[in-house]
Amino acid sequence: MSPPLLSVEGLGQGNVSLMASQVTVDSLSPASLEFKERNYLGLSDCSSVDSSPASNLCKENKSNLNLKATELRLGLPGSQSPERGPELNLLATGKLNEKNLFPLAPSKDGICSSSQKNVVSGNKRVFSDTMDGFSEIKGPSYTEGNWMFNTSRTDSESAQPVGLGKFSGSGNINVMLSSGSAVTHAALVKEVPQKALEAGHHLKTANASKVNGSNNNTSAPAAKAQVVGWPPIRSFRKNTLATSSKNNEEVDGKPGPGALFVKVSMDGAPYLRKVDLRIYSTYQELSTALEKMFSCFTIGQCGSQSTCGKEMLSESKLRDLLHGSEYVVTYEDKDGDWMLVGDVPWEMFIDSCKRLKIMKGSDAIGLAPRAMEKSKNRN
């Protein structure tokens, strides 16, 4: 029989209760905060089996419990709000605790087909290994791509989950970049508690623009709010709407609504990203976003060269790396041909782009002449 679960009553003794029906609402007192606290700590199993992590958690919970549960938190993972425990308060000091931010490098091949990858210990390297050598840093050391480029817009609630994205994902980059980015983080820190305040005190008005405008400290006020997955509409529908409304152009010249998600893959990256092309209006914007999204791979690739070893990699160096012979961005068009990004006018590109791929410059050599020819034929 399995050990007693976290039953609401009984606190780890006597009632071996597996059924939810045993967990009754009645057993909860109104002062449930306290109750839960006891309940949580009363796990005899927990303390005997593996005391340190569990009791640490208990301790932390004890101190934070009364605060947390009643606070109007907006539940940011890794939130920058100062109410949280000191170990999370990394940004307040302006210093980035690299150890906590810098994600672990995954296994070498990055292909997730092999078994026993995560259940058994093994293939993953510890942070200290990677920090020393910058060698072969691949894998999920970046955050969800959408999150990242949404920060460049930071409209409305996108600041919330996105805050995290930028926080930890660029933790990567910030380790190596100049302190300029710390300022942006500070800005984000300020934004978050303010948002919490807003929501908590029902300051929401029906004025839609307030949501958009309120924390638009960074850039592009013109871009619409883009929270990942909100509103909840399937990609197929979004893309279809986008193309059909383009066909019937709005009279007042509003930009085409809807999103146009295309997959972006990169040689050596473990998995794909999706990018909404409608967010950008120039190649430069797209390029910057892609750089941010996939920068860690580039860094990893250059790791073998001694130059990248310990010195701070500035943003411009990053760009040079991408624009140098290392990587090029290509796309698959409607006819199934692979072309270099940047040859055709932006509007035409959006129209015909089905998929993006970042490949090594050496692989892309054959593409350039074809692309030129094609656009010649079109004109």
Partner 1 sequence: MAYSFPEEVLEYVLSFIKSDKDRNAVSLVCKSWYEIERWCRKRVFIGNCYAVSPMIMIRRFPEIRSVEIKGKPHFADFNLVPEGWGGYFYPWVIAMSKAYPMLEAIRLKRMVVSDECLEMIAKSFKNFRVLVLSSCEGFSTDGLASIAANCRNLRELDLRESEVEDLSGHWLSHFPDTCTSLVSLNIACLGSEVCFSSLERLVSRCPNLRKLQLNRTVPLEKLPNLLCRAPQLVELGTGAYSAELRPESLSNLVNAFTGCKKLKALSGFWDVVPLYLPAIYPVCCGLTSLNLSYANIQSPDIIKLVSQCQNLQRLWVLDYIEDSGLDVLASCCKNLEELRVFPSDPYELEPNVPLTEQGLVSVSEGCPKLHSVLFFCRRMSNAALVTIARNSPNLIRFRLCILEARAPDYLTNEPLDAGFGAIVENCRKLRRLSLSGFLTDRVFEYIGKHAKKLEMLSIAFAGDGDMGLHHVLSGCDSLRKLEIRDSPFGDQALLANAAKLETMRSLWMSSCSVSYGACKLLGQKLRRLNIEVIDERGTPESRPESCPIEKIYIYRTLSGPRFDTPNFIWTMDEEGNSPLGIA
CA distance 181 to 178: 7
Q: Does 49 bind partner 1 (CB under 8 A)?
A: yes
Cβ count near 101 (within 10 Å): 18
Site for partner 1 contains 50 (CB under 8 A): yes
Exactly one of 93, 201, 202, 379 binds partner 1 (CB under 8 A); which one?
202
Is residue 142 at the binding interface for partner 1, with CB under 8 A as the rule? yes
* Token digits of residue 37: 């606290």
Between 209 and 362, CB nearer to partner 1? 209
Are the CB atoms for 277 and 260 separated by under 8 Å? yes
Site for partner 1 in 155-194 (CB under 8 A): 156-157, 160-161, 164, 168-169, 171
Q: Is the peptide bond before 231 cis (omega within 30 degrees of 0)?
A: yes
How many residues at the interface with partner 1, by CB under 8 A? 125
16 binds partner 1 (CB under 8 A): no
CA-CA distance, 371 to 265, in Å (whole number)? 20
Question: What does the block give as tokens for 275?
Answer: 């990018």
Q: Considering beta carbons, is residue 72 or 365 the nearer one to partner 1?
A: 72
Contacts (CB under 8 A) with partner 1, residues 272-291:
272-274
Among residues 93, 99, 376, 379, the one that binds partner 1 under rule CB under 8 A = 99
By the rule CB under 8 A, 57 interacts with partner 1 = yes
**Which residues, 302 to 331, sit near partner 1 by CB under 8 A?**
none
Q: Which is nearer to partner 1, 225 or 359 (CB)?
A: 225
Residues 22 to 41: which contact partner 1 by CB under 8 A?
22-25, 28, 32, 36, 39-40
**Nearer to partner 1 by C-beta: 224 or 374?**
224
CA distances from 270 to 39, 79, 140, 296, 369 (A): 42, 27, 8, 12, 30
Nearest approach in angstroms of CB 216 to partner 1 is: 14
* DSSP H helical ranges for the chain: 32-41, 44-49, 51-70, 98-101, 127-133, 145-151, 159-164, 170-176, 180-200, 208-213, 235-247, 283-302, 315-323, 346-352, 367-378
**Binds partner 1 (CB under 8 A): choice among 181, 214, 218, 245:** 245
- What are the Cα distances from residue 2, in Å, to 5, 153, 215? 8, 50, 50
Out of 159, 259, 266, 364, the only residue in the binding site for partner 1 (CB under 8 A) is 259
Q: How far apart are CA 291 and CA 85, in angstroms?
A: 33
- Decide: is 144 part of the binding site for partner 1 (CB under 8 A): yes
Which DSSP string corresponds to 109-158? S--TTSSSSSSSS-SPPPHHHHHHH--S--SS-S--HHHHHHHTT--GGG
Q: Is 373 in the site for partner 1 (CB under 8 A)?
A: no
107 lines the binding site for partner 1 (CB under 8 A)? yes
Q: Minimum CB separation from partner 1 for residue 376, in Å?
A: 25
Among 228, 262, 340, 359, binds partner 1 (CB under 8 A): 228
Q: Should residue 235 be labelled a site residue for partner 1 when binding is judged by CB under 8 A?
A: yes
Q: Does 3 bind partner 1 (CB under 8 A)?
A: yes
Residues 6+ apart with CB under 8 A from 258: 238, 239, 241, 242, 245, 278
Q: Does 227 bind partner 1 (CB under 8 A)?
A: yes
